[in-house]
Amino acid sequence: MEKIILIIISLFLITNAFADECYTSSLDTTPVILESDKKPGRFFLDQPDVNDDYQIHIVYSLLKDSKDKEGDINGAIEKWIEASDKYILKTTKKANEKSDFKNGIAQNIKWDRRKDGKLDISFIRINKTKKELKKSPSGSCGNVFGRTIVNAGFNNPKKIYFNFGDYSFKEWPYSGGFPIFSIFNKHQKKYPLKKSEFGYFVLHEVIHAMGGIFTCSPKYTKYVHNTKKTSDLMSSEGDGRNNTLDPKNDDYWGHNNKSCPDMQDSVYFTPTSDTPFDPFEVTCLPKEKWKFTKHDYKNIKDIRGTGEMCFYKRRDVSAPWENELGIFRKSN
């Protein structure tokens, strides 16, 4: 079996990174809606929430010229998530048994669901063609996926948005900092996404979307990963088989460092920690604006104002609450 080495690079873009032939600021983030896209059971907007809890909302995306495979309405996404849930429950249980979190109980992420209990999946068609994406050095046109999703109104500060791209992309997973992460169904046109690897990608990328791993983690390296080529799920290089969350419980999961966020405590996991933190507050807001998060986290190196960690900080995305809540911006 051909071994595919995946180098996961989380691209946290700063202003001068927009020098991209494919990038055209906000002009390219208006979603395309074809008449043929309007199908029974398909939703173009986030549906009413059944509660006010923190949630991961799924966006099923296509490119402007992608064939509609109807993954959002034919049950395909549900099957992918079922595979992911099994992996995440198994992986977190193993880690939580070691750290003795709630007697070793497994945790899963909180998916956004409709009143009928089904996953709440929104549809969006990105205003870029396959050919246009090829013009971009990164292949993303300045993360047009995340920019389109946020500017289309998916900007609830209590939600993380998972973009399932049903098309080929340069990378399998792709992060943008809170609140966006993406996974694509094909890598470089020739490597299809596998259910055996999908849970790994989801857990790895959702931790990035929660701000992790943080600069105060002892093994932190650039691009918010930790040490290279280890069995650690958050290592900077992996092949989809790095299945251990913080093997020694000394870095980002189940640790005892009260000055640094423990991803186990994120509000997006269930059952939720008795001492939770809100990734939106920690990654996007100055400490004096924190209301939910009661931790000090004094060891975090503040890099929010550089465009890293918080996607909402970007000048080419906007949310109706940003002035009221006060998104962190550096003065220099």
pLDDT in tens, 158-217: 999 999 999 998 877 888 789 999 999 988 777 889 999 999 999 999 999 999 888 888
* Helices within the chain (DSSP H only): 76-99, 130-134, 144-151, 195-209, 279-284, 322-325
Kindly report the CA angle at 318 between 314 and 320, in degrees rounded to 5?
Answer: 145
Residue with the larger pLDDT of the pair 5 and 36: 36
Give the tens place of pLDDT for each residue, 266-286: 999 999 999 999 999 999 988
pLDDT, position 229 = 65
Cα–Cα distance measured from residue 306 to residue 328, given in angstroms and rounded to the nearest whole number = 10
pTM of the model: 0.90
Question: Which residues lie closer than 8 Å to 183 by C-beta, 6 or more apart?
Answer: 162, 163, 164, 165, 172, 173, 174, 193, 198, 201, 202, 205
Question: Which residues lie closer than 8 Å to 66 by C-beta, 6 or more apart?
Answer: 125, 130, 166, 167
Cα–Cα distance measured from residue 233 to residue 203, given in angstroms and rounded to the nearest whole number = 8
- Could you give the 3-state DSSP secondary structure of residue 221? strand
pLDDT, position 59 = 98
Mean pLDDT across 230-243: 76
Mean pLDDT across 24-34: 82
Mean pLDDT across 124-129: 95
For 178, other C-beta atoms within 10 Å of its C-beta total: 27
Residue 58 phi, psi dihedral angles, 5° rounding: -95, 130
List for the chain the helix, strand, coil content (%; round to 5): 25, 20, 55
Cα–Cα distance measured from residue 83 to residue 90, given in angstroms and rounded to the nearest whole number = 11
